[in-house]
Copies of this chain bind each other. A is one copy, B any other.
């Protein structure tokens, strides 16, 4: 697995770098970013999964995470949100196809060939990071925003030994019953809803998947997507019923943007650092 470094910047004493490699899982070139804090490591490894339309750059440019990751000694990995390329299936809508991989393995055409973001991140990219960067792979956490917040929660619930910490900014939490999720699941997984439960955070908790990680969720009360797509109250209910530790906060006046993510990034990174120390 050859890694090509595309860009590198010094930032808050550490190094932000962007890398490309040929993925066997997605069958495409894939790009991801790594923030390595100053010091010798090995560092706890925190995966950030981005939301619809995003790639590595949104969180690295807009969230200010480098300042806090530098202080706390956290390595942050930001994968892309889907396979990309002229030969990769796509859709004109922002919420399907390239930029909208939903962190699952598609079973339906035309998506099944390349759209395997869960397998890609959890196996191939994890091995590649372990081999090339000074991360402590026994101390991994996962977080994300919106579609990626949901990806983070499902990753943590399905891989409780792999991820010791989990949090999310304004995540989708019950995709099977909201428009963003229904559209993506029908396209990627087909109309048979029995295939959806394995990628639905609410259904996972209902069916007994829990993690010892105490999940932190922040959602803005001024988030236009909250009532239609995010529905944090549903997930809170199933976690309470299942005994899954969860702190789900509603933040007055904040919307879905990175201005919101940036405001609460320090809280989230300290939450992970405490769990991963």
Residues of chain A having any CB pair with chain B under 8 Å: 9-13, 16, 61-62, 64, 66-67, 220, 222, 253-255, 257-260, 262-263
Q: Do B11 and A259 touch across chains, with their CB atoms under 8 A apart?
A: yes
Instruction: Report chain B residues within 8 Å CB of A263.
Output: 10-13, 66-67
Q: Do B222 and A262 touch across chains, with their CB atoms under 8 A apart?
A: no
The answer to whether residues A10 and B222 also contact, given A61-B62, A62-B61, A62-B62 and a CB cut-off of 8 A, is yes
A105 → chain B closest CB, angstroms: 33
Dominant secondary structure of chain A at its interface with chain B: mixed
Q: Do A9 and B262 touch across chains, with their CB atoms under 8 A apart?
A: no
Q: How many angstroms between the C-alpha atoms of A185 and B248 in the bound complex? A: 56
Which residue of chain B lies nearest to A263 when distances are taken between CB atoms in the complex?
Answer: B12
Residue in B10, B220, B257, B262 whose CB lies within 8 Å of A259: B10
Q: Do A67 and B64 touch across chains, with their CB atoms under 8 A apart?
A: yes
Instruction: Report chain B residues within 8 Å CB of A222.
Output: 10
The answer to whether residues A16 and B66 also contact, given A10-B222, A10-B253, A61-B61 and a CB cut-off of 8 A, is no
Instruction: Report chain B residues within 8 Å CB of A254.
Output: 10
Q: How many angstroms between the C-alpha atoms of A11 and B260 in the bound complex? A: 6
Q: How many angstroms between the C-alpha atoms of A252 and B81 in the bound complex? A: 33
A91 → chain B closest CB, angstroms: 27
Q: How many angstroms between the C-alpha atoms of A220 and B61 in the bound complex? A: 18
Task: Enumerate the 5 nearest inter-chain pairs by beta-carbon distance, A residue then B residue, closest first.
Answer: A64-B64, A10-B253, A11-B259, A9-B259, A12-B263
Q: Do A10 and B66 touch across chains, with their CB atoms under 8 A apart?
A: no
Q: How many angstroms between the C-alpha atoms of A12 and B264 in the bound complex? A: 8
11 A-B contact pairs sorted by A residue (CB < 8 Å) = A9-B255, A9-B257, A9-B260, A10-B260, A11-B260, A11-B263, A61-B61, A61-B258, A62-B62, A64-B67, A64-B262
Which residue of chain B lies nearest to A251 when distances are taken between CB atoms in the complex?
Answer: B10
What 6 additional pairs, Cβ within 8 angstroms, besides A10-B222, A10-B255?
A: A9-B257, A10-B254, A10-B260, A10-B263, A61-B258, A66-B262
Which residue of chain B lies nearest to A254 when distances are taken between CB atoms in the complex?
Answer: B10
A253 → chain B closest CB, angstroms: 4
Which residue of chain B lies nearest to A264 when distances are taken between CB atoms in the complex?
Answer: B12
The answer to whether residues A16 and B259 also contact, given A10-B253, A10-B254, A253-B10 and a CB cut-off of 8 A, is yes
Q: How many angstroms between the C-alpha atoms of A10 and B62 in the bound complex? A: 15
Q: How many angstroms between the C-alpha atoms of A67 and B67 in the bound complex? A: 11
Instruction: Report chain B residues within 8 Å CB of A66.
Output: 259, 262-263
